[in-house]
Structure 1
Amino acid sequence: MRLRRLSLAVVLALAGLGPGAALGEVCARDDAGRELCLPAPAARIAALSPGATELTYAAGAGERVVAVVDYSDYPPEARQVPSVGSHTRLDLERLLALRPELVVGWITGNPPEQLATLEDMGLPVFYIEPRSFEGVASAIERLARLAGTEAAGDREAARFREGMAALAERYAGVEPVPVFYQVWDEPLMTVNDEHLIGKVLTLCGGTNVFGELDRLVPRLDEEAVLAADPEAILAGGMGEENRDWLTHWERYPELTAVARDNLFFVPPSLIQRPTPRMLEGSRLFCEKLEQARERRGG
């Protein structure tokens, strides 16, 4: 992959620095496989997804975030940062006015043509899309490198790795629980085993009843769920405390998950964003599946 270097003149102009500013090149490879080099750690960062915002703060660079997108609600201080639209439609004029020195883009979530426009204008775009637990930890470390906050980023990455490893050890060899995870309601959607959420299910000793489907986020109908007859159903919802998606399944008392009261709610932000909070969400997943095992009776 070609090495992309933002010209010194562009960086200095964007940052409002003079030619005597202290410099020190920093480089990192993004999740698109491209190496990005900056002549100095980024002091002004635009995070173009809620997950990118969380990862940047986790990397110790929260004070450098000058732009976010809608629903960037964690940590709480991120809510005070100017929004430049949604992750699917960016207000480029507003974004440029905030003079970012680094743009953190979402490979499959941001409009590729808008990210390409930013690059054509000389802005450095670092593409992220963690697809594994290690990918989450690595993203934190790489963002910390680009922001010059390695000490904080390395600590958080180590905490996440150690926590996930502890869960894997604790739930190794447990009795499997057939699970349906609902990621959306209309249309009805789930995840396969290659999805990061699917990997959480496996870590906790769950068997994803739709894990072998080809698409990362397959669409389903109710009949498919009824035929699969999962022992547990886990879902988020439209909001952090909205359990309506689970209430829907109560109309099918013949489902094993309903009969055993194994309808479990997990706040979506804890599991649907590839960030360190996935550790907390994974602990909840594992606890819910342990409850399902306990309800099997003799």
Structure 2
Amino acid sequence: MRAIGHLLLVAPLALGAGAEAGAAPVTVQDDAGHRVTLARPAQRVVATAPHITELLFAAGGGERVVGAMNYSDYPEAARRIPVIGSNAQIDMERLLALRPDLLVVWQSGNTERQLAQLKSLGIPIFYSEPKKLDDVATSLTRLGQLLGTDTVAQAAARDYRQKIARLSAAYAQRAPVRVFYQIWEKPLFTLNGAHIASDAMRVCGGSNVFAGLKVTAPSVSTEAVLQENPEAIIGGGQHDGQAGITLWRTYKGLQAVQRDNLFTLDGELLVRATPRIADGVATLCDRLEEARRRRP
């Protein structure tokens, strides 16, 4: 398998040699701390998570993404990219047929088995795992280096950082709001302090009531939420007939219910680590400001 991967790697590099003649090798460090070196800018990239596909487009490399995971739906052009699998299963034959010269993978979103298979192909791998808001900007610039699209990537990173800086200046020092973030109802799931959504709360002057849990996306009990008694509850839209955050309306003693602080946000804008998260942070800040205004 390693030999096949090596042969398939050589072909796209050779195809790009004319356009990239004289290009110097580039080395960047990925989110796992590994050094990734390419002899010339990547020409055929496979992304193994929706947020990665979006980052590659934002960094100026959308036309070079030849394979993506299911749910890669932004921007619109991403919907036309061949799908090579899901977080449960990657079609390795289809991936190899695309002749990629760079794989950008989600370290915690792809299984250990998948990661082992991908490493065995002998194709350069960049691990993507943004955990803080500023990691989105550094992801853009590093991917821009690997793609040879530095100018576009750096401009996108500057614009994004400016948006986050303005929000932080406006809200970070506001009175804290204790927040429960619900990502799923049955079973009840939330996010801990290591997830980028918690950093978004921090920018808005919010604090995640379950930040201290060890698992990134832990399951919690209804009783645990009631004990924490958050001032605001944030959740995405309803799924598959579930009640979403409206389930809490029956708990009249909950502070978030008493003050009508049950807020529905577009979940993708807070959990996908892409430049669009700045829009999600702006909406979150508005909602937490509403919660402050409703205090007695």
Length-normalised TM-score, structure 2: 0.91
User: Over residues 75-130 of structure 1, what are the superposed CA-to-partner deviations in whole Å (9 max), with x where a residue is unaligned?
Assistant: 11100110001023100100111111111001111123333333322211111101
Query: In structure 2, do the counterparts of structure 1 residues 47 and 18 end up closer, same or farther at CA, with 3 Å as the change threshold?
Result: closer
Tell whether 2:121 aligns with 1:145: no
Matched residue, 1:185: 185
Tell whether 2:244 aligns with 1:214: no
Query: In structure 2, do the counterparts of structure 1 residues 44 and 225 end up closer, same or farther at CA, with 3 Å as the change threshold?
Result: same
Query: In structure 2, do the counterparts of structure 1 residues 211 and 115 end up closer, same or farther at CA, with 3 Å as the change threshold?
Result: closer
**Aligned counterparts of 1:123 and 1:83: Cα–Cα separation in 2:** 19
**Aligned counterparts of 1:19 and 1:256: Cα–Cα separation in 2:** 62
Q: Is the 8 A contact 1:115 1:125 kept in 2?
A: no
**Aligned counterparts of 2:17 and 2:158: Cα–Cα separation in 1:** 37
Query: In structure 2, do the counterparts of structure 1 residues 178 and 20 end up closer, same or farther at CA, with 3 Å as the change threshold?
Result: closer
Q: Is the 8 A contact 2:12 2:44 kept in 1?
A: no
Matched residue, 2:11: 13
Matched residue, 1:245: 244
For the residue of structure 1 that corresponds to 2:10, the secondary structure is helix
Q: Give unpaired runs (5+ residues) of structure 1.
A: 1-6
Structure ranking higher on relative contact order (CA contacts 8 Å, 6+ apart): 2
For the residue of structure 1 that corresponds to 2:234, the secondary structure is strand
Q: Is the 8 A contact 1:15 1:99 kept in 2?
A: no
Length-normalised TM-score, structure 1: 0.91
Q: Is the 8 A contact 1:42 1:146 kept in 2?
A: yes
Displacement of 1:43 in angstroms is 1.1
Residue 128 of structure 1 aligns to which amino acid in structure 2?
A: S
Residue 103 of structure 2 aligns to which amino acid in structure 1?
A: V
- Equivalences, count: 290
For the residue of structure 1 that corresponds to 2:127, the secondary structure is strand
Tell whether 2:65 aligns with 1:72: no
Residue 246 of structure 2 aligns to which amino acid in structure 1?
A: T
Residue 274 of structure 1 aligns to which amino acid in structure 2?
A: A
**Aligned counterparts of 2:130 and 2:16: Cα–Cα separation in 1:** 36
Residue 187 of structure 1 aligns to which amino acid in structure 2?
A: P
**Aligned counterparts of 2:147 and 2:97: Cα–Cα separation in 1:** 20
Query: In structure 2, do the counterparts of structure 1 residues 35 and 296 end up closer, same or farther at CA, with 3 Å as the change threshold?
Result: same
For the residue of structure 2 that corresponds to 1:68, the secondary structure is strand
User: Over residues 169-202 of structure 1, what are the superposed CA-to-partner deviations in whole Å (9 max), with x where a residue is unaligned?
Assistant: 1113211112111122222121222321111112
Matched residue, 1:272: 271
**Aligned counterparts of 2:60 and 2:123: Cα–Cα separation in 1:** 22
Matched residue, 2:291: 292
For the residue of structure 2 that corresponds to 1:84, the secondary structure is strand
Residue 134 of structure 2 aligns to which amino acid in structure 1?
A: E
Which is worse superposed, 127-136 or 182-191?
182-191
**Aligned counterparts of 1:73 and 1:260: Cα–Cα separation in 2:** 36
Residue 13 of structure 1 aligns to which amino acid in structure 2?
A: A
Q: Is the 8 A contact 1:178 1:231 kept in 2?
A: yes
**Aligned counterparts of 2:156 and 2:242: Cα–Cα separation in 1:** 31
Alignment of structure 1 residues 126-145 onto 2, 5 Å: 126-145=126-145
**Aligned counterparts of 1:120 and 1:193: Cα–Cα separation in 2:** 33
Matched residue, 1:281: 280
**Aligned counterparts of 1:73 and 1:242: Cα–Cα separation in 2:** 23
Query: In structure 2, do the counterparts of structure 1 residues 111 and 156 end up closer, same or farther at CA, with 3 Å as the change threshold?
Result: same
Query: In structure 2, do the counterparts of structure 1 residues 145 and 8 end up closer, same or farther at CA, with 3 Å as the change threshold?
Result: farther
**Aligned counterparts of 2:22 and 2:112: Cα–Cα separation in 1:** 31
Displacement of 1:10 in angstroms is 6.0
Matched residue, 1:60: 60
Which is worse superposed, 269-278 or 242-251?
242-251
- Percent identical across equivalent pairs? 44
RMSD of aligned residue pairs (Cα, Å): 2.2
Matched residue, 2:89: 89
Residue 14 of structure 1 aligns to which amino acid in structure 2?
A: P
Matched residue, 1:4: none
Matched residue, 1:257: 256
Query: In structure 2, do the counterparts of structure 1 residues 101 and 8 end up closer, same or farther at CA, with 3 Å as the change threshold?
Result: same
